[in-house]
Chain A
Amino acid sequence: MATKFDLDDDGVVVIIGTGAGGGTLANELAQRGVKVVALEAGGRHLPTDYVNDEWDAFVQLSWLDARTTSGSWRVARDFAGLPAWIVKAVGGSTVHWAGASLRFQPHEWKARTTYGHVAGANLLDWPIDADEMDPWYAAAEDKMGVTLTNGIPGLPGNNNYKVFEAGAKALGYSQVSTGRMAINSQPRDGRPACIQLGFCFQGCKSYAKWSTAYTEIPAGEATGNLEVRENAQALVIEHDANGKVNGVVYADADGVHHKQMARVVCVAGNSIETPRILLNSNSALFPDGLANGSGQVGRNYMRHMTGSVYGIFDRPVKMWRGTTMAGIINDEAHHDPSRGFVGGYELETLSLGLPFMAAFLDPGGWGREFTSALDGYENMAGMWIVGEDMPQETNRISLNFDVKDQFGLPAPNVHFDDHPNDVAMRNHAYRQGMAIYQAVGATRVFPTPPYPSTHNLGTARMSEHARDGVVNRWGQAHEVSNLFVSDGSQFTTGAAENPTLTIVALAIRQADHIAREMNAGTL
């Protein structure tokens, strides 16, 4: 449990981040006998610490370091310093994720081929496909205990789901269920079944939801091969004269800098921090940032086309009771350009507590139009829209030299403009979402703007050719053979599905590759 590696031990794999990508990779490598030091910027919070209180949990868990925003997205106006809502803690954003675990559809691995040229979009096919990913998805679903796979029953539907399902069926949708969720519907893997707490986003106090914080991390530590160093925020990655990385400089809880030597470095800091670390690691050999010969580091930032729809009814719903997102409609997820856009979207149940509803229903709104909506809170049902957004080179994470973080490093700026395809898809989804609630008697419906990003993707993307991206089919940097990207940053395109399952599947596959190459002496 208390394995410690020396700072000058240059035989270890250093992983930056312990979320879906980093936490899974750490355990999978440790299980294969590889020595791992995982640097986690946040502290270790476990279910006993989690709080059923939206703002208290937000303060406890969120990544709140200095960030700036630009572009025409509304988040830049309403939440200028909070482009993304992600977690800074052991377990990363698997602490607060909703649990939706959907595979990419086969065509989504080949977006450029399937959708053709889309003006203004920097579309590219992934260098891997559905057949290759199939066994890794299966491994991820088994690891995470995904409902409606492996013979695991679906979760029971809560009130919010029942409204959603009735509306979907009234509209003629056929693919509606409580969804494939990494939340136990029955005891599994030493964790109990969901007790319908209703605070999935605040950390699951009952352990029913899969999170690396209390599955992968302790399993890896139990092997004696994994040391998780908490409150250790990675600052820059350093390299030797040959251009191979040799360690990571991090700040400990007291702000003291250390360098952990490494044989291999894997970056999994989520798609804002991952490119920031690479960009901040510039050197004479890599003047534009580490692994950035293509100029694609930080670019093609995707956040999924999102939005929400809330409906108010003449009778109570009490949507906050029970699992937050156990309700998914797949009928609009396919690619059908006759709808006026390429790609597709999922509709998923969503509820917010009163405090967050006040903050997110109509940010900046006030007066009776706003308050009369909240007056209907008890009678409200809610859904989230999540669809494929177009990668654009100009949507990017860059360094803001005018704003420094607590370590004196340039803060990340997140620039985002919707692509016309994103707008067309969102408008379609708003119409369908509102129709679902109107079909079961909603008296008022609200198409609600996107929240700060929870799905951050694409800023160190996977590509067949070095000129088009940052990493190859294994997540290995085109330019630096012992540097890997292990989180959603490597996504070539975003697909319509919530990304965590794919991040986990890619991490298992990457661990298998790294362990094999290390054993062969080729890494």
Chain B
Amino acid sequence: MTHTASRPGLTRRQLLARSIAAGASFMVGAGFVAARDGAWAMQTAHLEPRSMATLIQMARDIYPHDQLADEFYAIAVRGYDSPEAAPAMEAGIAALDAAAEGHGHASYLDTHWERDRVDILRGMERSAFFQTVRAGLVTGLYNQPDVWPVFGYEGESFSKGGYLARGFDDIAWL
């Protein structure tokens, strides 16, 4: 994961020039998926870049928080880009795309309304693929310390002396 399009030897412009759109949010090229605006890019070694884009979209559809950037979802699923995990993921994504086609869409990424994507996911809610991705997100997404401040959660407190002098009882509206 790079926060900007800083792949060695490639400028953001060059990177995006080597990519094509994948759904509404992502660009994919040889061995990478990137944000449409180039805000971040992630290389893939074992998953097809389009598959990684699909996983990121699926992650957002399972746990949608509009205040969280795609990058957090990308971090949450990047572990599936491994020799062990990739085959089952590719098979699951193929089934997801087939389900999307069954709903009259070109693919999951080309299903533009969240409501329609959620319908597709509901149809495969009991599959091992869905449950693996969902369960993995519980820690993969919500246990990212960079996510916590978005929800107000303050994390570790011991090094700051706890909350005794930092507002443990500061509620003022009751």
Contact surface of A with B, Cβ cutoff 8 Å: 51-55, 156-159, 162-163, 166, 194-199, 205-206, 315-318, 320-322, 353-355, 357-359, 364, 366-368, 370-371, 374-375, 377-378, 440
Q: How far is the CA of A374 from the CA of B152 in the complex (A)?
A: 11
| Contact flag A163-B65 (CB < 8 Å), given A197-B158, A377-B151 | no
- Minimum CB distance partner of A165 in chain B: B174
Q: Is the CB of A353 within 8 A of B153?
A: yes
Q: Is the CB of B134 within 8 A of A366?
A: yes
Q: How far is the CA of A317 from the CA of B172 in the complex (A)?
A: 9
Q: How far is the CA of A368 from the CA of B66 in the complex (A)?
A: 10
| Contact flag A371-B64 (CB < 8 Å), given A53-B156, A354-B148 | yes
| B118 in the interface (beta carbon within 8 A) | yes
In addition to A195-B162, A197-B158, A322-B169, 4 A-B residue pairs with Cβ atoms within 8 Å of each other are A55-B143, A206-B158, A354-B148, A357-B142
B window 37-83: CB within 8 A of A? 62-65, 67
Q: How far is the CA of A2 from the CA of B15 in the complex (A)?
A: 64
Q: Is the CB of B148 within 8 A of A162?
A: no
**Contact residue among A162, A206, A371, A375 (Cβ-Cβ distance under 8 Å from B162):** A206
| B163 in the interface (beta carbon within 8 A) | yes
Q: Is the CB of B168 within 8 A of A366?
A: no
- List, sorted by A's number, 26 A–B pairs whose CB atoms are closer than 8 Å: A52-B156, A53-B155, A159-B169, A162-B169, A163-B171, A195-B161, A197-B158, A197-B163, A318-B170, A318-B171, A320-B153, A321-B157, A321-B163, A321-B167, A321-B168, A322-B163, A353-B153, A354-B142, A358-B142, A367-B62, A368-B64, A370-B63, A374-B151, A375-B67, A377-B153, A440-B174
Q: Is the CB of B153 within 8 A of A354?
A: yes
| B84 in the interface (beta carbon within 8 A) | no
Q: 1/0 contact trace for B126-161 toward A, CB 8 Å?
A: 000000001000110111000110011111111001
Contact surface of B with A, Cβ cutoff 8 Å: 62-65, 67, 118, 134, 138-139, 141-143, 147-148, 151-158, 161-164, 166-171, 173-174
Q: Is the CB of B171 within 8 A of A159?
A: yes
Q: How far is the CA of A158 from the CA of B173 in the complex (A)?
A: 14
- Minimum CB distance partner of B167 in chain A: A321
- Minimum CB distance partner of A159 in chain B: B171
Question: What's the least CB distance linking A299 to chain B, in Å?
Answer: 33
Query: In the complex, what residues of A have CB within 8 A of residue B164's CB?
Result: 194-196, 322
Q: How far is the CA of A194 from the CA of B157 in the complex (A)?
A: 13
Query: In the complex, what residues of B have CB within 8 A of residue A53's CB?
Result: 155-156
| Contact flag A378-B152 (CB < 8 Å), given A322-B168, A367-B118 | yes
Q: How far is the CA of A355 from the CA of B140 in the complex (A)?
A: 10
- Minimum CB distance partner of A378 in chain B: B152
Question: What's the least CB distance linking A98 to chain B, in Å?
Answer: 16
Q: Is the CB of B64 within 8 A of A52?
A: no
Query: In the complex, what residues of B have CB within 8 A of residue A321's CB?
Result: 154, 157, 163, 166-168
Q: How far is the CA of A206 from the CA of B169 in the complex (A)?
A: 19
Q: Is the CB of A196 within 8 A of B162?
A: yes
Q: How far is the CA of A367 from the CA of B141 in the complex (A)?
A: 14
Q: How far is the CA of A379 from the CA of B65 in the complex (A)?
A: 16
- Minimum CB distance partner of B170 in chain A: A159
**Contact residue among A196, A205, A378 (Cβ-Cβ distance under 8 Å from B168):** A196
Question: What's the least CB distance linking A387 to chain B, in Å?
Answer: 27
Q: Is the CB of A366 within 8 A of B62?
A: yes
The residue among A194, A358, A364 with the most chain B CB atoms within 10 A of its own CB is A358
| Contact flag A317-B65 (CB < 8 Å), given A197-B162, A355-B139, A358-B138 | no
Query: In the complex, what residues of B have CB within 8 A of residue A55's CB?
Result: 139, 143
- Minimum CB distance partner of B147 in chain A: A354
Query: In the complex, what residues of B have CB within 8 A of residue A162's CB?
Result: 169, 171, 174
- Minimum CB distance partner of B144 in chain A: A355
**Contact residue among B65, B139, B152 (Cβ-Cβ distance under 8 Å from A316):** B152
Q: How far is the CA of A53 from the CA of B153 in the complex (A)?
A: 12
Q: Is the CB of B173 within 8 A of A315?
A: yes
Q: How far is the CA of A166 from the CA of B142 in the complex (A)?
A: 31
Question: What's the least CB distance linking B79 to chain A, in Å?
Answer: 15
**Contact residue among A318, A366, A370 (Cβ-Cβ distance under 8 Å from B167):** A318
Q: How far is the CA of A364 from the CA of B137 in the complex (A)?
A: 11
- Minimum CB distance partner of A381 in chain B: B171
Closest 7 CB pairs of A and B: A378-B152, A195-B162, A322-B168, A358-B142, A52-B156, A354-B153, A196-B168
Question: What's the least CB distance linking A439 to chain B, in Å?
Answer: 11
Q: How far is the CA of A368 from the CA of B162 in the complex (A)?
A: 33
Query: In the complex, what residues of B have CB within 8 A of residue A440's CB?
Result: 174
Q: Is the CB of B151 within 8 A of A375?
A: yes
Query: In the complex, what residues of A have CB within 8 A of residue B67's CB?
Result: 375
Q: Is the CB of A196 within 8 A of B163?
A: yes
Q: Is the CB of B63 within 8 A of A355?
A: no
| Contact flag A367-B64 (CB < 8 Å), given A156-B169, A158-B168 | yes
- Minimum CB distance partner of B157 in chain A: A197
**Contact residue among B143, B152, B162, B168 (Cβ-Cβ distance under 8 Å from A355):** B143
Question: What's the least CB distance linking A337 to chain B, in Å?
Answer: 35
Question: What's the least CB distance linking B17 to chain A, in Å?
Answer: 35
**Contact residue among A194, A196, A354 (Cβ-Cβ distance under 8 Å from B151):** A354
Q: How far is the CA of A205 from the CA of B156 in the complex (A)?
A: 11
Q: Is the CB of B65 within 8 A of A375?
A: yes
Query: In the complex, what residues of B have CB within 8 A of residue A371's CB?
Result: 63-65
- Minimum CB distance partner of A158 in chain B: B168
Question: What's the least CB distance linking A209 to chain B, in Å?
Answer: 12
Query: In the complex, what residues of B have CB within 8 A of residue A52's CB?
Result: 155-158
Query: In the complex, what residues of A have CB within 8 A of residue B138's CB?
Result: 358-359
Q: How far is the CA of A505 from the CA of B142 in the complex (A)?
A: 40
Question: What's the least CB distance linking B120 to chain A, in Å?
Answer: 13
Q: How far is the CA of A370 from the CA of B157 in the complex (A)?
A: 27
Question: What's the least CB distance linking B157 to chain A, in Å?
Answer: 5
Query: In the complex, what residues of B have CB within 8 A of residue A370's CB?
Result: 63
The residue among A55, A205, A354, A367 with the most chain B CB atoms within 10 A of its own CB is A354
